[in-house]
Amino acid sequence: MSFAPLDPLLHNQLRLAVMSLLMTVDEGDFTFLLDRTGATRGNLSVQITKLKEAGYIRVKKTFKDNYPNTGCSMTPKGIAAFEAYVASIKGYLGT
């Protein structure tokens, strides 16, 4: 039996959590991701940047009620990478 390689970018608990959450919404803002993941602001910010640099998510900075708001959404590349990662994990589990 051979196992498919796992995407090292997604093989990180927080980045995988962010991607999993973004798969369920059109756009999730920083506060939404912070609340759902329980991450620190600094760590979440770093992981969002890594996902953005990889082209997996799109980041849009706006203002909401005079406060900065960071919105994140999946890109087609990110969706494909996430789906491939899930398929690989299923292969490891034999499902």
Determine the angle formed by the axes of helices 13-22 and 76-93, rounding to 10 degrees: 120
Phi, psi of 73 (to 5 degrees): -145, 160
Residue 14 carries which side chain, given as an amino acid letter?
A: L
95 pLDDT higher than 80: no
- Average of pLDDT values for 51-79? 94
1 pLDDT higher than 70: no
- Name the pTM for this structure: 0.91
Whether the CB-CB separation of 57 and 79 falls below 8 Å is answered with no
Q: Where are the beta strands (DSSP E) in the chain?
A: 28-29, 57-64, 67-74
Report pLDDT for 2.
75
Whether the CB-CB separation of 47 and 90 falls below 8 Å is answered with no
73 pLDDT higher than 70: yes
82 pLDDT higher than 90: yes
